[in-house]
Structure 1
Amino acid sequence: MVLENRPGANGVIGAGVVATAAPDGQTLLFGHVGPLTISPATQVRMPYDTLRDFAPVTQVVSAATALVVRPGLPVRTVPELLDYARAHPGVTYGSVGPGSTTHLAGEMLQLMGRAPFTHVPYQGAAPVMTDLLGGRIDIAFLNVAGVLPQIAAGGVRGIAVSTLRRAAALPDLPTVSDTLPGFEVNSWYGVLAPAAVPQPIIDRLYREIVVILRTPEITRLMNQNGLDVEATTPAEFRAKIEQDLRRWAEVVRAVGLRSE
């Protein structure tokens, strides 16, 4: 196997290469929720249609983001945070950049929680954490693996995770959906093939990949990095993609986030 990184446009360029590759099962995409379901909502011109141009093989992992707050913020639960934001306008949340899952998670929290938050965009997670630790912003949704050390050290306080299930790496944290049913921000990764790859090849790829994913060693490795193994069927993965395409289109439309 040869791994080829094609950076650019939040992963859209690399995904576009696979979308037009020969349908022989030899070229696969290790894809992320961003270029496959968020970019179609935020970008007017896309080089592919996610549902038309790709054949889902399996969702490899779910990747939760943790809702963390600066230690001085007097909240320990999602309901307390929402009440505090309503009573104290101007509560800020940092993100790794506009259109990212960490940005849209904050927008969903505002929409579903009916509480105002002020978005402060950064370029990457490191400056978000720096300003959170320094008390210059109040809250953030950040990758679980990245916040584990700071939560353990008491630098930030974790109050919830964004996936529908609790994260294996943070089993004591509830989900945001416990308070706001239906809230889900899942930065998943999965394997996809060009759309015209024959179904028998898709099925074989699925079987072979799932055998690996279900080994205890891989599960343990993923959990240590803040990831939860999914190993869904091709049909289940397609349904997940369809669901997220609808979800992000609705959120982007509600907040007016769309680029040319």
Structure 2
Amino acid sequence: MPRGSSDLMADSFFVRKMLTEFALLTALTLNSDEREVLRDKIDEWVKCFLPKLERESTKTEKCRLIASVERQEFGNESKHYAVFWRFCKFGAKKGFIFDDNQKHLEKFKATSFQKKILRQNPTLKNVFLDRSEIKEENGKWNLKNELKNKLLSEGGEAIVFNQKFGENLMAVRIAVFDSFLFTKQFGAGQIKWRTHFISDFGTATDNKKDHALVVPVHENVIRNFANIEIFDSGDEKEEDCLGWITIMEKCDGNLREKLKSGNPTLDERI
């Protein structure tokens, strides 16, 4: 059946509405209603975007478990243990870290993600796991043409794409902290996320330390307009962030090429 003028008008209204909502993304300040409208729109985009991400990993469950301890938060009095520990061991509900001589340093409550790995592979319980046993990652991203054509950068733990939000062409950076994230073993259907905007935070106006949640705003600092934290779907308390997606300003060049091609002034470097 041919589409009537009312259908076309409805489509036009929807597109204009979507463009207006995405225009909120770059705002430094939004009221609570505007933030929730934007959050809903970005969450819709994330839901469609995540299934397009697919990669392979050459690491193991043991690698994942040890790496999860590297992301572990320790108490204020034992933060230095995060640097000095070499071995870890897990019981049913607790984890333990040890130094080079397997001397006990600290115990901690196992996260739901760590418990999940231990349920899937019980042989990892009650054994010393050496931090050096984390294997090198040789897996690759499996990108379909839609994303290949938008690729800006790939390397290390992150990959960056072009993405248009409304009228704004931006860069989307995907950082992976858990080696199985976006693989067939741990795909989009097994994760959840939480979205944060630059407008959720105050603006840092000086170089003084401040316990308030603020972000730096300066012409030489790339603005991260949104950050999407990724968690295992069973992580009710959101204890362990397994990766994130950052929506940020797209730059016309990069610092490496700038430094190679000339001798920028100090002001240009800052």
Same fold per TM (> 0.5)? no
- Structure that is richer in helix per residue: 1
* Greater relative CO (CA pairs within 8 A, separation 6+): 1
TM class, shorter-length: under 0.3
TM-score normalised by length of structure 1:
0.25
TM-score normalised by length of structure 2:
0.24
Determine which structure has more spread, i.e. the larger CA radius of gyration: 2
